[in-house]
Structure 1
Amino acid sequence: MSETPVLDSAAVRWSAPPAERAGRPLLVLMHGYGSDENDLFALAPHLPAEYVVAAVRAPLSPPFPTPGWSWYPIEGLHGRDPDIATASARALVTWIDGVRADAASVGVLGFSQGGVMAIEALRLAPDAFSFAVSLAGYANPHPLPGDAALAERRPPVFWGRGALDDVIPAPLVAHTVQWLPGHVELSGRVYPGLAHAVSADELSDVSTFLRKQLPEA
């Protein structure tokens, strides 16, 4: 747990080759626990084509026999440790800083643990991102140095979750319900009948939100 997380640049899925990325808005996707970069990349065809999509792989390995990768542990003594989540988010911000180049804008979108990363990255670097999308995620209940600047800037954030989602602990959902409106321009929706997943209705709402965040020509 003491090692500094680092994202593997060789494990990133891009929707466009380097020659086709200049000057376009960049959207970085973060998967959930036990998954990998291929998971959310499957959403790319359903998102506005103006974005260059980059789906990254989380830097940590869950304990055997859980497959895939994680942003922070959910089990044992370090389960949901916000400091580990913050360390992974710092690694994410560092990687984005290295690839953003002349992107017209940069946004982050994540599911579950990736949704936590989206909010955490926004809190770490409020001026670095134009918006965030958190699907079935939450805001960690610990202060970060960028929180005051975030509350002043109030970037747009879409937070979607299922009414039947019992994976995210209720106290974390309750904290997020209170915390987000005081720090961001929130677009939130709870989807009836949805558990810990992404529905077609939610994906449609996300696509609409993303279109509204496109930089003006």
Structure 2
Amino acid sequence: MTAAITPAPIPAAVGPRDSGPDGRPLLLLLHGFGSHERDLPGLVTRLGEGWDWLSVRAPYALETGGAAWFPLANGGPVDRSAIDAATAGLWEFVDEHTSGQPIVPIGFSQGGLMVSELFRSRPETVTSGALLSGFVDPAPRDTDAALKQAPPRVFFGRGTEDAVLSESIFGNTETWLREHADASIKVYEGLGHAVDQQEIEDLREFLAGLGLV
């Protein structure tokens, strides 16, 4: 028997209104390691009209004042127990604060991995998302077969000069996405571990193509 996962609760979130989402398709913003819930909302106005949004803080507090979705791997395997707890906590938050509207998660770096965890854990609920300088855990999961039957539409963008994540990590991510998703893969010459205007424009075009707004 598989042990129950204890969720790691989401400690804070911001959105455009105190009352929560208004029922429109929702962009769920997931920041990177060491950042916070106010890092990504500035993107929203540049991603097209018609979206609602929520930006959440990762559950694991860091001494630097930011937060993480899971501990840094330091070249080793990712901490599955921490990721599973963070995913369970994120689903608790989503279930409490949404009411069935389409959800498109957008994650930067570590937040990108969390995007993949959302559509891998509930492939019938999250059918699209975006990884910005992000990555996936390539270890097989029971739900991966369902993804191949109905591949999620995924935007994956990264730079050629990223000094945080290695080419091998990006290569594994691209391979996994080609096998399990309907992936739009963009590589930006000269871009580091960041997002630039061209990537934002490409992401906006990808979101428009989903036909949700």
TM-score of the superposed pair, with normalisation by structure 1: 0.88
Structure 2 letter corresponding to 1:89: T
CA distance in 2, matches of 1:14, 1:71: 20
Partner residue, 2:16: 15
Partner residue, 2:27: 27
Partner residue, 1:6: 9
- Matched length: 209
CA distance in 1, matches of 2:173, 2:31: 20
Deviation at 1:19, TM superposition (A): 7.7
Q: Which runs of 5+ in 2 are unaligned?
A: none
Are residue 180 (structure 1) and residue 177 (structure 2) matched?
Answer: yes
Q: Which runs of 5+ in 1 are unaligned?
A: none
Are residue 137 (structure 1) and residue 134 (structure 2) matched?
Answer: yes
Partner residue, 1:57: 57
Higher deviation after alignment, 73-82 or 198-207: 73-82
Identity %: 33
CA distance in 2, matches of 1:76, 1:208: 35
Deviation at 1:212, TM superposition (A): 1.4
Secondary structure of the residue aligned to 2:157 is: strand
Are residue 47 (structure 1) and residue 44 (structure 2) matched?
Answer: no
CA shift in 2, pair 1:21/1:4, >3 Å: closer
Deviation at 1:129, TM superposition (A): 1.1
Task: Give CA deviations for 1:180-210 in whole Å, capped at 9, x if unaligned.
Answer: 1111100010000100000010011111111
CA distance in 2, matches of 1:90, 1:19: 20
Structure 1 letter corresponding to 2:50: E
Partner residue, 1:202: 199
CA shift in 2, pair 1:114/1:212, >3 Å: same
Residues 78 and 137 in structure 2, CA contact (< 8 A), matched pair in contact too: no
Residues 16 and 53 in structure 1, CA contact (< 8 A), matched pair in contact too: no
Structure 1 segments (4+ residues) deviating >6 Å: 76-79
Secondary structure of the residue aligned to 2:185 is: strand
Partner residue, 2:71: 73
Structure 1 letter corresponding to 2:37: E
Higher deviation after alignment, 204-213 or 90-99: 90-99
Secondary structure of the residue aligned to 1:37 is: coil
Secondary structure of the residue aligned to 2:38 is: helix
Task: Give CA deviations for 1:157-191 in whole Å, capped at 9, x if unaligned.
Answer: 00000111121133322211211111110001000
- Counterparts of 1:115-194 in structure 2, within 5 Å, are 115-194=112-191
Are residue 86 (structure 1) and residue 81 (structure 2) matched?
Answer: no
Residues 134 and 157 in structure 1, CA contact (< 8 A), matched pair in contact too: yes
Structure 2 letter corresponding to 1:35: S
Deviation at 1:52, TM superposition (A): 0.6
**What do you get for the CA RMSD once the two structures are aligned?**
2.1
Higher deviation after alignment, 80-89 or 176-185: 80-89
Structure 2 letter corresponding to 1:195: G
TM-score of the superposed pair, with normalisation by structure 2: 0.90
Secondary structure of the residue aligned to 1:43 is: helix
Q: Per residue, is there more helix in 1 or in 2?
A: 1
Residues 29 and 107 in structure 2, CA contact (< 8 A), matched pair in contact too: yes
